[in-house]
Amino acid sequence: MLRYLTAGESHGRYLTGILEGFPAGVKVGRSYIAGQLRRRRQAPGRSARQALETDAFEVASGLSGDVTTGAPITILIENKGRALPTPSALPRPGHADLAGMLKYGTFNASLIRERASARETAVRVALGSFALRLHELLGIAINSRVVSLGRLSSITAAAAAAEIARARRAGDTLGGVFEITAEGLPAGLGDFTHWDRRLGARLGAALMGINGVKGFEVGGGFGLASRGGIAAAADPELSGGLDGGMTNGRALTLRCAVKPVPGLPGGALSTDLRTFKKKLYSSKTSDTTAVFAAAVVGEHAAALELASALLEKFGSDSLTELKPRVEEWRKKTGKILNRL
């Protein structure tokens, strides 16, 4: 079993992550992890806070040189933006604040914000880098792309930049949809025998666990609901690479809908929970859109879950043992799959 935990607040000293159950013998250079963190940090649509953060990190355990030892991996990412927000009883509309304040019995919304902030996803990316690297070494390619941004459904870098600039000028924020694909996955990952072993359920939990994600679909997803069985059967790609909660040898395709960032630059009307006076909450550091950053996070969250399923099937002690087992399995299943 591969598992991970994260800890840390948005403006605390460090974000911390522990990855446990990862095999020995995987070379993961610091520059590789730094590159993945940069992809998330420098994604289009980010706030001014990103110019401040460098995501300087330390791998405090689990590596000998650049190679994993099989022991738990600990990562610490330093926060540069450490000025703690002043205590406030004003929840940000549309964020975790109100429900979190009620749940934890506090009038200080900052205590909720600090941990609910998407800043935490930096450490998921750092841990996910190990999983992504493992997949690469096993010939599995996991990628992401943004397929829509607001009303824009044909995404080029220039069109996205213009749409983000337009939203910013209008004091608005944007949602969007990102897609994750995984090619080269061995067939038979996940399991139909119990609901919580189904890979779609596991991937759904990992991806719905990303801040701002409101929708998740596999392959044809919601579109399949309005198709007839004859039409659906004619296009096996609509399965999105999963049947009965298991990989079926085809490319995996997942999509997630990300809501527009609720923190509006022009502010949003809220209610102070102590005085019940209406006040404007204005958010100067919110991102204009989180969808590009979320796509990178999604790639890593999916990589971790897929690595977990892979290690369950093929063993998790070392890459040296794992690699020939995966190759052997591909040969065996390929004899059937290639003749269908």
Q: Which of residues 10-29 bind ligand EPS (CB under 6 A)?
A: 10
Measured distance CA(117)–CA(315) in Å, rounded: 35
When the beta carbons of 12 and 81 are compared against ligand EPS, the nearer one is: 81
When the beta carbons of 57 and 314 are compared against ligand EPS, the nearer one is: 57
Residue closest to ligand EPS (Cβ): 49
Min separation Cβ 178 and ligand EPS, Å: 16
- Reference 38, options 21, 50, 22, 26; nearest CA is 50
Chosen residue from 37, 122, 146, 242 binding ligand EPS by CB under 6 A: 122
Measured distance CA(161)–CA(35) in Å, rounded: 22
Beta bridge partners of 63: 68
When the beta carbons of 10 and 144 are compared against ligand EPS, the nearer one is: 10
- 124 lies in the site for ligand EPS, by CB under 6 A: no
Chosen residue from 81, 94, 188, 267 binding ligand EPS by CB under 6 A: 81
DSSP symbol at 241: T
When the beta carbons of 82 and 145 are compared against ligand EPS, the nearer one is: 82
Q: Which of residues 159-218 bind ligand EPS (CB under 6 A)?
A: 211
- Reference 97, options 106, 105, 86, 109; nearest CA is 109
- Reference 263, options 243, 289, 292, 283; nearest CA is 283
Q: Which residues contact 299 (CB under 8 A, 6 or more apart)?
A: 128, 132, 142, 143, 144, 180
Chosen residue from 77, 90, 118, 177 binding ligand EPS by CB under 6 A: 118
- 285 lies in the site for ligand EPS, by CB under 6 A: yes
Min separation Cβ 292 and ligand EPS, Å: 12
When the beta carbons of 254 and 290 are compared against ligand EPS, the nearer one is: 290
Min separation Cβ 202 and ligand EPS, Å: 24
When the beta carbons of 37 and 149 are compared against ligand EPS, the nearer one is: 37
Chosen residue from 119, 133, 255, 330 binding ligand EPS by CB under 6 A: 119
Min separation Cβ 126 and ligand EPS, Å: 12
Chosen residue from 54, 117, 271, 318 binding ligand EPS by CB under 6 A: 117
- 69 lies in the site for ligand EPS, by CB under 6 A: no
Q: Decide if 25 contacts 143 (C-beta within 8 A).
A: no
Min separation Cβ 85 and ligand EPS, Å: 7
- 133 lies in the site for ligand EPS, by CB under 6 A: no
Maximum Cα–Cα distance across the chain: 71
| Phi and psi based region of residue 221 (left: phi greater than 0; alpha: psi -120 to 50; beta: remaining) | left
Q: Which residues contact 190 (CB under 8 A, 6 or more apart)?
A: 197, 198, 199, 200, 202, 242, 245, 246, 247, 309
Measured distance CA(132)–CA(22) in Å, rounded: 12
Chosen residue from 20, 21, 32, 47 binding ligand EPS by CB under 6 A: 47
What is the SS3 assignment for 203? helix
Query: How many residues of this chain bind ligand EPS (CB under 6 A)?
Result: 13
Measured distance CA(259)–CA(177) in Å, rounded: 9
| Number of neighbours of residue 336 by Cβ within 10 angstroms | 10
When the beta carbons of 219 and 263 are compared against ligand EPS, the nearer one is: 263
Which residue type is seen at 19?
L
- 108 lies in the site for ligand EPS, by CB under 6 A: no
Interface residues toward ligand EPS, by CB under 6 A: 10, 47, 49, 53, 81, 117-119, 122, 211, 285-287
